[in-house]
Amino acid sequence: MELLPAERSCACFRWLKHVGSEPTEDGIEWYPFGVISSPFLLSATLNYHVENYGSELSLEVRKNLHVANVILPARSAKEAMEICEDVKTIFKDAAMNIRGLLSNDEEFNKQIPEKDRAEISQVKGVLGIKWNAYQDTIQVTMKP
């Protein structure tokens, strides 16, 4: 994730190259994912970009954004494809690629480019709930 120039002074590392020497300060322009704060940073970054995009759809994305999942309704495969293309544009403008697209509509799934489509032969986890897109059923595990 690229940091804004004005915020780079807040994200720097201090390195001690040799015991007894002064530490050096190295600024960073890109923040790595995989560190403990990554889920918060991903959420904050996505919220920042969709809020600043300013379209009606971006506000809908903001309301339906859950960590790394966006769940949006559509009335038809055609409408879903239009929404999908617009959402991909919003994320592309943020230098991000949205992928793993999946619907309970087989016609829509066939239209999604393979590189962007989720594997549809298995149950998917959405918001911690297992969803079978073919059967359009969810599976909830109850623990005593």
Tens-of-pLDDT digits for all 144 residues of the chain?
A: 677 788 777 777 777 778 888 888 777 777 666 666 667 777 778 888 888 888 899 889 988 887 778 889 999 999 999 999 999 998 888 888 888 898 989 889 999 999 999 887 667 777 778 888 888 888 888 888
Q: In this structure, what are the phi and psi dihedrals at residue 5, rounded to the nearest 5 degrees?
A: -55, -40
Give backbone dihedrals phi and psi of 125, rounded to 5 degrees, phi first.
Answer: -90, 120
Model confidence, pTM: 0.66
pLDDT at position 37? 60
| pLDDT attached to residue 20 | 84
Long-range pairs, 49-56, Cβ under 8 A, ≥24: 49/90, 49/91, 49/93, 49/94, 49/96, 50/90, 53/90, 53/93, 55/86, 55/90
Domain ranges across the chain: 1-31, 37-139
